[in-house]
């Protein structure tokens, strides 16, 4: 007996990604947001497109790995290599990291969020 596997497919034309989003199709991946820390900007279950190849950190929303957890957070660049890590939901306190700590062992920036889609 064969089991039918259901898959979900969302496709974006590479030309559209390049022209409208400014990314190369090979440099992005999609993932679902889990949790309410970025509400109201991103609801739990929202789909985000993440650009793995971004040129330098600047203020924006990023996916980061912190101690084996994937986080979606707003990063704000401050003087002296300090990065403020913020949630758009005010019930979560912001925290700070130093750029030097982004070495890929305990903490790493995976990519910048360049697009989102969610149920209204």
- Mean pLDDT for each consecutive 10-residue tract of the chain (120 residues)? 57 94 95 96 96 93 92 97 97 94 84 93
Total count of domains within the chain? 1
How far is the first Cα of the chain from the last one, in angstroms, to the nearest whole number? Answer: 40
- d(CA 18, CA 50) in angstroms, rounded, equals 14
Q: Is residue 93 part of a domain?
A: yes
Contact 118, 46 (CB under 8 A): yes
Domain holding 67, by residue range, is 14-117
pLDDT at 56: 87
Q: Which two tokens stand for residue 31?
A: 């993932």
pTM of the predicted structure, to 2 decimals: 0.88
| Residue 48 within a domain | yes
Q: Is residue 45 part of a domain?
A: yes
């Amino acid at each position: 007996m064969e089991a039918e596997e259901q898959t979900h497919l969302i496709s974006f034309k590479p030309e559209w990604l390049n022209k409208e989003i400014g990314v190369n199709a090979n440099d992005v991946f999609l993932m679902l947001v889990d949790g309410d820390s970025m509400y109201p900007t991103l609801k739990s279950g929202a789909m985000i497109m993440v650009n793995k190849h971004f040129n330098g950190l600047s203020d924006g929303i990023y996916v980061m790995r912190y101690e084996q957890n994937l986080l979606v957070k707003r990063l704000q660049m401050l003087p002296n290599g300090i990065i403020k890590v913020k949630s758009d939901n005010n019930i979560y306190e912001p925290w700070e990291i130093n750029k030097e700590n982004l070495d890929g062992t305990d903490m790493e920036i995976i990519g910048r969020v360049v697009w989102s889609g969610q149920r209204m």
